[in-house]
């Protein structure tokens, strides 16, 4: 019986430099399970192409004309939440990365990285992994935790949710998110904590003495319960609602 070929993951490449787009296309299409369906020269064009093709992944440059990668990512994730965005950056600027992840990016890769690292990052993010350097992940989490503590300090002087409700005003989003977080089991919280540290499924499996398939099942349930499409956004939500108390 003849084997059926696997369905290729559809990718859109967004970068304002034609030569870089062409080189990147040749690089990723060397994998038989990847098909570049379109190229965009700016964020606005990337958004339009995503509406047309509904790709599994967008390789998105951060700085582009008309609409930058962060704004485009936010718009794409709002309309097509299952489309993954892998940011391509020229430097590990923490502010750029924070903006990208808040917008919904599922990971990042340096544009100067070796070709093998780029293709590895593409495959990792398509498989639900977290392509981000663990040291950078730690810096991002520390910054997010600092911002969370600042918000908590500000909220101490705000009216309680019950008072807002009595005035007919909406409750803060964090209160509703906290209700959603209560559905996580203790084991899922352990897995989420390791995800937030940038651990791969294999590393989590070794840490918790579980099989990789079991970890994948836990990750799938975590994403479903937190209503996000990738592990990066799950980690950010976990920090924002105080689920991860330490790093």
Whole-number Å distance between alpha carbons of 147 and 114: 34
Per the listing, tokens 């509703």 go with: 176
Whole-number Å distance between alpha carbons of 10 and 37: 6
The CA radius of gyration of the chain, in Å to the nearest whole number, is 19
In the chain, what percentage of residues exceed pLDDT 90?
A: 36
Q: Hey, do 9-126 and 141-240 end up sharing a CATH topology, with the first three levels equal?
A: yes
User: What band does 93 get if pLDDT is binned at 50, 70 and 90?
Assistant: confident
As to burial, measured by CB atoms within 10 angstroms (0-12 exposed, 13-18 middle, 19+ buried), residue 179 is exposed
The CATH number for 9-126, chosen from 3.30.750.200, 3.40.50.970, 3.40.50.2300, 3.40.640.10, is 3.40.50.2300
Confirm or reject CATH 3.40.50.2300 for domain 141-240, answering yes or no. yes
Residue 110, SS3 per DSSP: strand
> Which two tokens mark 222?
């975590």
Backbone dihedral angles phi then psi of residue 61, each to the nearest 5 degrees: -70, 150
User: What band does 224 get if pLDDT is binned at 50, 70 and 90?
Assistant: confident
In 3D space, the residue among 142, 139, 104, 141 whose CA is nearest the CA of residue 125 turns out to be: 104
Q: What is the pLDDT of residue 155?
A: 64
User: Which residues does 230 contact at the CB level (< 8 Å), separation at least 6?
Assistant: 84, 106, 107, 125, 128, 223
Mean pLDDT of the chain: 81
User: What band does 193 get if pLDDT is binned at 50, 70 and 90?
Assistant: confident
Whole-number Å distance between alpha carbons of 175 and 180: 9
Q: What is the pLDDT of residue 99?
A: 86
Q: How many CA atoms lie within 13 A of 135 on its CB side?
A: 1
As to burial, measured by CB atoms within 10 angstroms (0-12 exposed, 13-18 middle, 19+ buried), residue 67 is middle
Q: Which residues pair with 16 in a beta bridge?
A: none
Domain extents in the chain? 9-126, 141-240
Contact criterion met (CB below 8 Å) for 73 and 101:
no
What number is the average pLDDT over the span 76-105?
Answer: 87
> Which two tokens mark 132?
């981000």
In 3D space, the residue among 48, 47, 97 whose CA is nearest the CA of residue 75 turns out to be: 47
Contact criterion met (CB below 8 Å) for 73 and 104:
yes
> Which two tokens mark 21?
């787009």
What number is the average pLDDT over the span 192-210?
Answer: 85
User: pTM of this prediction?
Assistant: 0.71
Whole-number Å distance between alpha carbons of 211 and 67: 43
Q: What is the pLDDT of residues 2-52, one digit of tens each?
A: 444 457 899 999 999 999 999 999 999 998 999 999 999 999 999 999 999
Whole-number Å distance between alpha carbons of 75 and 43: 9
């Amino acid at each position: 019986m003849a084997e059926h070929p696997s369905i290729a993951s559809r990718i859109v490449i967004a970068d304002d430099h034609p030569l870089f787009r062409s080189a990147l296309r040749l690089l990723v299409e060397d994998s038989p399970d990847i098909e570049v369906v379109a190229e965009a020269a700016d964020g606005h064009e990337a958004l339009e192409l995503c509406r047309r093709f509904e790709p599994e992944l967008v390789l998105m440059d951060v700085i582009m004309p008309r609409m930058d990668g962060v704004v485009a990512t936010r718009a794409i994730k709002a309309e097509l939440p299952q489309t993954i965005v892998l940011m391509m950056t020229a430097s590990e600027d923490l502010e750029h990365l924070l903006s990208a992840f808040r917008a919904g990016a599922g990971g990042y890769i340096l544009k100067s990285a070796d070709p093998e690292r780029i293709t590895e990052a593409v495959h990792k993010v398509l498989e639900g992994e977290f392509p981000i350097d663990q040291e950078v992940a730690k810096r991002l989490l520390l910054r997010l935790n600092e911002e969370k503590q600042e918000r908590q300090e500000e909220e101490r002087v705000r009216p309680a949710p019950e008072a807002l409700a009595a005035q007919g005003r909406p409750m803060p989003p964090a209160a509703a998110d906290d209700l959603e977080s209560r559905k996580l089991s203790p084991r899922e919280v352990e897995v989420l904590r390791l995800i937030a540290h940038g651990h791969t499924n294999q590393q989590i499996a070794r840490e918790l003495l579980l099989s990789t398939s079991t970890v994948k099942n836990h990750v799938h349930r975590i994403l479903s319960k937190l209503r996000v499409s990738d592990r990066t956004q799950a980690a950010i939500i976990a920090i924002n609602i105080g689920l991860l108390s330490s790093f």
